[in-house]
Amino acid sequence: MPTMTTSAVVHDSELNPWQSQAARFDFAAQKLELDEGLWKILRYPTREIIVHIPVGMDNGRIEVFTGYRVQHSIARGPAKGGVRYSPDVTLDEVRALASWMTWKCAVVNIPFGGAKGGVICDPKKLSLGELERITRRYTAELFEFIGPEKDVPAPDMNTNEQTMAWMMDTYSMHMRQTVTAVVTGKPVNMGGSRGRREATGRGLMIVCDEALKKLGMQREDTRVVVQGFGNVGSNAAKLMHDTGYKIIGVIEVDGALFNRNGMDIDALLEYRQRNGTIVGFPGAEAANGADLMVADCEVLLPAATENVITSQNADKIKARILCEGANGPTTAVADDILADKKVFVIPDILANAGGVTTSYFEWVQDRQGYFWKESVVNEQLDHIMRESFDDVVRYAETHSVNNRIAAYMLAIDRVAFTIKQRGIYA
Ligand code: NAD
């Protein structure tokens, strides 16, 4: 195993999420003194599937889209992870996201491995019918690789409950029976879990609450800037606003908003619903997104995409707490800068794990054929998130490492232990 530090990632590849993942993995593995054979097993994904899917477009022409599904590890249970639609999807990105799913499921100690999928396409330029045909063909191509006991997809960027309904239906058509547990994040009326839609945002609020307790801070004095107002960001903003946090900044692709006294998030959600954008919201002033990322605040909550905190802006960040809603928002190079500044980082593989945890509850409910009350879902989620936060922070203190490396170490240790026990390594 090579000797590395996280900053050993050369700056050229700073924005490659797979390199960022590998740098943290290598560093954590080295700290753990991980056996070299186990390091080799865990450093690369178990399986990488590439599909080229022909789709009839509305204009009568045929287009071929490229899709990926990467299964990083199935040591602790079926692979689990979202499907992303974006023009920027790359195999390295999907690899990184798949391995983060392995570590995330291990951090919150649920019985899944890690996977991720993606299709290179621009959903903004596609009709609903075209999106449905892409989804059905992608699912059909993956038929033998997915399933409740093999690999369970879920929504991610630009996919949603409707996408999961199409995936579930396509898989079920091939199986000649309804198989709800093949995907999670479904609509509640067809095997989805109550509370799943808000779960990632709820988990983010829970870990922020824990961080405030640890640092002796109060919600009412806590100013929050949220980047990305999609599923994760808008639900986190709403739940945090409802419990007393001040959401002073919201950043989106087409504009950003600032209100030093905190925004009315219900009004913003209503405005966005009516106008399809946050731009022009009368309850805040227009702002510059890049400036807001480094604005004076207590919590910065990136909930959009990767590589938004890099060597270019990390030293300017003023937030006391960085709570990572997105996967991979911070590069490995930026980690060291944030550590020097003593920013309290709640790393993605812990902070945004509320989504996969409630996906686990959905999978359990589908297999039981018995559906829980929302209060039961939220209570179970609360318990797992708080316990996992404590595990990571205690691990960091015991081993004198930062929270991110602690989360990786905890996760790698759990996965490696299972592999040894199963005897795969024998
Ligand atoms: P989404 O598509 O619902 O929302 C993403 C939002 O971010 C969109 O509104 C988009 O316009 C905005 N955005 C994209 N790039 C931006 C940029 N550069 N600056 C500002 N805004 C930008 O996706 P989502 O499901 O909310 O996922 C967001 C992130 O959270 C992703 O990294 C995803 O992997 C991660 N995540 C999602 C879940 C989940 O349950 N959905 C769970 C864990 C992690």
State pLDDT tens for residues 349-363.
Answer: 999 999 999 999 999
SS3 at position 369:
coil
Q: What pLDDT, in 10s, does the model give residues 332-381?
A: 999 999 999 999 999 999 999 999 999 999 999 999 999 999 999 999 99
Q: What percent of the chain has pLDDT over 90?
A: 96
Per-residue confidence (pLDDT) for residue 355, from 0 to 100: 97
Give the distance (Å) from ligand 1 centre to CA of residue 83.
12
Per-residue confidence (pLDDT) for residue 195, from 0 to 100: 98
Give the distance (Å) from ligand 1 centre to CA of residue 11.
25
Q: Could you tell me if 190 and 161 are in contact, meaning their C-beta atoms sit under 8 angstroms apart?
A: no
Q: How confident is the model at residue 5 (pLDDT cuts 50, 70, 90)?
A: very low
Nearest CA to ligand 1 atom 41: 156
pLDDT at 12 over 70: no
pLDDT at 1 over 60: no
Give the distance (Å) from ligand 1 centre to CA of residue 304.
4
Ligand 1 binding residues, C-beta < 6 A: 155-158, 200, 227-233, 251-253, 303-305, 325-327, 352, 355
Give the distance (Å) from ligand 1 centre to CA of residue 32.
32
pLDDT at 87 over 70: yes
Per-residue confidence (pLDDT) for residue 3, from 0 to 100: 45
The answer, as to whether pTM is greater than 0.75, is yes
Q: How far apart are the first and last CA of the chain?
A: 19
Mutate to test the pocket of ligand 1, among 107, 156, 227 (most ligand atoms within 8 A of CB): 156
Mutate to test the pocket of ligand 1, among 186, 226, 232 (most ligand atoms within 8 A of CB): 232
Nearest CA to ligand 1 atom 9: 230
Sequence-ordered alpha helix ranges (H) in 5-160: 17-32, 36-43, 91-107, 128-141
Give the distance (Å) from ligand 1 centre to CA of residue 55.
26
As a whole number, the mean pLDDT across the chain is 96
pLDDT at 8 over 90: no
Looking at 80, 104, 116, 246, which residue is catalytic?
A: 116
Q: Please give the backbone phi and psi of residue 371, each rounded to the nearest 5 degrees, phi first.
A: -105, 135
Q: Could you tell me how many residues make up the chain?
A: 426
C-alpha torsion angle, residues 104, 108, 112, 117 (rounded to 10): -30
31 counts as catalytic: no
Q: Could you tell me if 293 and 226 are in contact, meaning their C-beta atoms sit under 8 angstroms apart?
A: no
Nearest CA to ligand 1 atom 32: 326
pLDDT at 2 over 60: no
Measured from the Cα of 251, ligand 1's closest atom is 20
Nearest CA to ligand 1 atom 43: 352
SS3 at position 73:
strand
**Strand arrangement of the beta sheet that strand 114-120 belongs to:** 47-56, 62-73, 114-120, 79-86, 151-155
Categorise residue 280: left if φ over 0, alpha if ψ from -120 to 50, beta otherwise: left
